[in-house]
């Protein structure tokens, strides 16, 4: 268990008691809350023990520390031979000598519980007092090597190379922990992960059907304190605060749906409140879009060079409805194809970041004369629908793009796709 006093954490909250599962040392646990604590070593993950499986009071439990890459390892470091000294073991006792002269070879004789120090003098055995005797040692055996300066390093000799185990500084790398837990809604499972950068920034990641959503967790004073990438703009949403399949959506002021059907609700407003709210479908949502030409086709046939037959064929429009941008309320619940750029079409302006004409349109979209944009968004009016913007630099370019949609069967206008022709 941990104390939460004075700790700011990021929280992943599920709607149901079993919305989140994670592996622990106690086995798989179901919960509705995960807590992420920032530390200098990495991110600590805690879970709410709602069933009291581990703690009978159902309290918050620590699960695991997901570490940053420091780039440093413990390994062999070479030390100069001039900085090494020999380390000896205990010396071997070889005998005794007279303290006064240092020359007499004395033998210790034990008799019962008594012992005597004696030496031979002209064939006469002479006894010498114990206090006049000192031991004689042989040279101690070498047991290793040490650093002269500190005497602390345990140096190993291999051939003529002296090394010790020390900290080797390297280059830190990004670390991606993709399976911290699972967010589960019926048949939909989303992998919850942590992307830890070499600079020790943190993104919460959600991976589903191969697509990645990244949510930036802002750090201040050593704690998670806000959602976002910039501390100076902690109270304002930034585009990169939330990235869906490579597309920054943090400043979108309408719901955004990914290609699975997961809806990120009103990213900008929620991000400014340091929250991200997801609506996860129980299974993947698919959209079928049919694009057909508009108006009538008149075919004239000549028979035998004289008789002429004229046939008029009506070609239906998409969904049978054509409206102006001022009439959008009539089709807000439909899939939309929005024809015309943000200079002349209010709905295109809504999706492309505001009204822009001429050079300003080019700056916003990258579309120059002779080019056109075909881009598919989640509909700003109904997140379960899509809106395809078809906008050229001028009218002729827009017509070219419309014809491409009608005639090119290989053109992909699925959600999130962007094509410049």
What local confidence, expressed as pLDDT, does residue 325 receive? 72
What local confidence, expressed as pLDDT, does residue 288 receive? 46
What local confidence, expressed as pLDDT, does residue 382 receive? 86
Residue 394 structure tokens: 């001028």
Q: How far is CA 297 from CA 293, 300, 310, 337, 405, in A?
A: 10, 10, 10, 21, 18
What local confidence, expressed as pLDDT, does residue 194 receive? 97
What local confidence, expressed as pLDDT, does residue 409 receive? 75
Q: In angstroms, how far is CA 73 from the centroid of its own chain?
A: 22
Residue 166 structure tokens: 């020390």
* Local structure of 375: helix, strand or coil: strand
pTM assigned to the model: 0.54
How big is the CA angle at 386 (ends 384 and 390), to the nearest 5 degrees?
A: 170
Q: Using 50 as the pLDDT threshold, list the residues of the chain that sit under it.
A: 1-4, 288-295, 297, 314-320
Nearest residue to 319 via CA among 307, 308, 310, 330: 330
What local confidence, expressed as pLDDT, does residue 383 receive? 84
Percentage, residues of the chain above pLDDT 90: 41
Domain ranges of the chain: 10-70+173-279, 77-167, 295-420
């Amino acid at each position: 268990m941990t104390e939460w006093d004075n700790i700011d954490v990021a929280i992943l909250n599920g709607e149901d008691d079993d919305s989140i599962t994670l592996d622990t040392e106690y086995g798989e646990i179901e919960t509705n809350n995960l807590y992420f604590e920032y530390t200098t070593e990495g991110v600590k993950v805690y879970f709410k023990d709602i069933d009291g499986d581990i703690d009978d009071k159902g309290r918050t439990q620590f699960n695991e520390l997901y570490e940053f890459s420091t780039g440093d390892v413990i390994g062999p470091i070479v030390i100069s031979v001039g900085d090494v000294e020999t380390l000896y073991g205990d010396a071997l006792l070889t005998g005794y000598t007279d303290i006064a002269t240092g020359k007499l070879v004395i033998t210790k004789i034990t008799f019962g519980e008594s012992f005597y120090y004696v030496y031979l003098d002209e064939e006469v055995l002479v006894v010498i007092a114990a206090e006049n005797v000192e031991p004689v040692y042989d040279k101690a055996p070498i047991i290793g090597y040490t650093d002269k300066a500190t005497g602390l390093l345990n140096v190993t000799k291999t051939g003529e190379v002296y090394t010790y185990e020390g900290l080797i500084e390297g280059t830190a790398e990004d670390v991606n922990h993709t399976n911290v837990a699972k967010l589960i809604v019926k048949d939909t499972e989303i992998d919850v992960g942590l992307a830890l950068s070499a600079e020790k920034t943190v993104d919460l990641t959600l991976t589903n059907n191969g697509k990645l959503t990244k949510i930036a967790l802002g750090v201040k004073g050593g704690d998670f304190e806000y959602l976002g990438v910039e501390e100076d703009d902690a109270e304002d949403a930034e585009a990169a605060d939330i990235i869906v399949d490579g597309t920054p959506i943090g400043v979108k002021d309408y719901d955004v749906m990914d290609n699975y059907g997961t809806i990120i609700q009103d990213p900008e407003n929620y991000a400014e409140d340091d929250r991200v709210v997801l609506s996860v479908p129980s299974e993947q949502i698919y959209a079928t879009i049919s694009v057909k030409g508009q108006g009538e086709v008149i075919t004239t046939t000549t028979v035998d060079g004289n008789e002429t037959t004229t046939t008029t064929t009506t070609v239906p429009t998409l969904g049978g409805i054509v409206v102006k941008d001022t009439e959008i309320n009539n089709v807000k619940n439909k899939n939309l194809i929005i024809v015309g750029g943000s200079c002349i079409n209010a709905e295109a302006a809504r999706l492309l970041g505001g009204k822009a004409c001429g050079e300003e349109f080019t700056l916003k979209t990258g579309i120059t004369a002779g080019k056109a944009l075909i881009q598919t968004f989640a509909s700003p009016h109904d997140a379960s629908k899509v809106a395809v913007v078809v906008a050229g630099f001028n009218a002729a370019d827009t017509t070219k793009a419309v014809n491409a949609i009608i005639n090119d069967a290989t053109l992909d206008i699925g959600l999130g796709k962007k094509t410049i022709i």
